[in-house]
Amino acid sequence: MHLLFVGDVHGSPGRRILRDRLPRLRSRFQAEFVIANGENAAGGAGINADVAEELFAAGVDLITGGNHTWQQRDAYALLDAEPRLLRPLNYPPGTPGRGAALVTARGGRAVGVINVQGRVFMPTPVDDPFRTVRAEVQALRPRTPLIIVDIHAEATSEKIALGWYLDGQVSAVIGTHTHVQTADERILPEGTAFICDVGMTGPRDGVLGMDRERIIERFLTSLPLRFEVASGPAQLNAVAIDLDDDTGRARSIVRILETDEHAG
């Protein structure tokens, strides 16, 4: 099975390049399933129903989230209503939405997807991601060997540790949140594809997707400022993963970086 995981979609520039490039990438990598992290897809913070529908229309099959998922007005109702949208699994009981899903890819195969949030340097207190994700993996494995984990976390150490913890139990552990694509993609010894951070799909010349002048001013003054999504060219970060259908083991993981140099 071939799948694509698209890094954090950030604001309208991220949605634009996703819409423009995903059909070709899906064809190039023969992807049967596309996951995108969408926690910053609406205005650079959160997600709403219109934006979620735009991502699905662009060719995304399932959207994962993170600590910013809740920042749009209709996010709570959307999380409960839309089974193709996940939020981190390790939020407290009673939190709107779900943290895992079993979905059918275009080739008819069942794929398990788990979204979990780290705790190191993260602002929101959540349950232990290691034990939480292991329990969900054990629940999914009797139903499919193809399991993808989005670990939305700040610390590289926490992401790497989770990769080793789940090696051989899941098909891939993909890091999100930091918006900077790392160059450490690999197949771990027991067959789990891993990358510390898949990167960002959004403005190339901002600071993590936000207008760089506002960010620089914040560093210079330490004053609270309203950040805005950067304009200009956009980039698309993703990984293409090839999986063995029967065992769920990864055969390859390839980093993707595309830009629309001349877009305004």
Query: 2, 10, 68, 262: which one is catalytic?
Result: 68
Residue type, 183: A
DSSP assignment string, 83-114: TTB---TTSPTT-SS-SEEEEE-TTS-EEEEE
Residue owning tokens 């423009």: 20
**Full DSSP string of 147-174:** EEEEEE-S-HHHHHHHHHHHBTTBSEEE
Active-site residue, 152 included: no
Phi, psi of 58 (to 5 degrees): -75, -15
Token pair of 232 as six digits: 């200009």
Which one, of 72, 8, 39, 5, lies nearest residue 206 by Cα? Answer: 8
Q: Tokens 């999380």 correspond to what residue?
A: 79
**Angle between helix 49-58 and 11-28 (nearest 10):** 20
Collapsed DSSP state (helix, strand, coil) of residue 40: strand
What is the rounded distance in angstroms from the CA atom of residue 262 to the CA atom of residue 247?
Answer: 43
Active site residues: 68
